[in-house]
Chains A and B, each alone.
Chain A
């Protein structure tokens, strides 16, 4: 194992902002800041419950724009996809299907569910972490995919 690009301080600050956002959404709207759940309710609309979801997602994009405008970290022009477009399609489909079937993603289960000490979210988080690590091992070290 070799440790690379370790950036604990921005990681922790960014994480704290995410936690603050989740706490704020719960306090004000009584909703869980699970991105797959929020986006899912736009993609196949939850009747009478769509506008706030759209504004939340617009906020995500706005947050990304603010980061770029104020140069708050590495230049986004340096970001490169980790695989080709064919595999990106597979990745996107799996993330969409998996988060819908498993009722949550890194934020909903990982940040919000664990904060509520939900046993379901603990199992979900351990499952997708393990699955992701095995997948990376297969792709990078066994030369699969």
Chain B
């Protein structure tokens, strides 16, 4: 029960932060990205504020052996940059630039959902589902291939 309450609290704080920061207004987001036109530098301060707090807190937290309400930390362990990371970044950036919505503000905006927000969230869910389904199948193939390679080595 406690971990669930903690997740709700973290989400609430996150959504409140996004709303206060102005990230729920796609005009503000697109203006931030429009450095050669009507530039609104505000979102650099959102990033700065978030990074400042989190970059100070994270090393202290990671010094603990375990989180307070879980058995271990589940932070990413991968370090190499691969093609997937770049392709994903380019696609995400294009979508973010067109609509002015990244996932957090999109979901927070469901608190005043109009038809535009329903449309963009719906498309986001479909896109995520398709990509996850395909990546899962691809990863399974890779694993099967690796197993076959291993077996042929043993033989």
Contact = CB atoms under 8 A, between A and B. Distances in A.
Interface of A: 1-8, 10-33, 35-36, 39-40, 43-44, 51-53, 55-68, 72-74, 76-77, 79-83, 85, 87-103, 105-107, 110-116, 118-120, 123-125, 127-137, 139-141, 145
B91 interface: yes
A55 B8 contact: yes
Contacts of B72: 30
Interface residues of B, number: 118
Interface of B: 3-28, 30-31, 33-55, 57-58, 61-62, 64, 66-76, 78-81, 84-104, 106-112, 115-116, 119-133, 135-136
B10 A120 contact: no
In the A-B complex, the 5 residue pairs with the closest CB atoms: A102-B88, A59-B11, A63-B15, A96-B127, A14-B21
B135 A100 contact: yes
Contact of A94 (B14, B51, B70, B92): B92
Most buried by B among A24, A65, A89, A96: A96
Contacts of A1: 35-37, 39
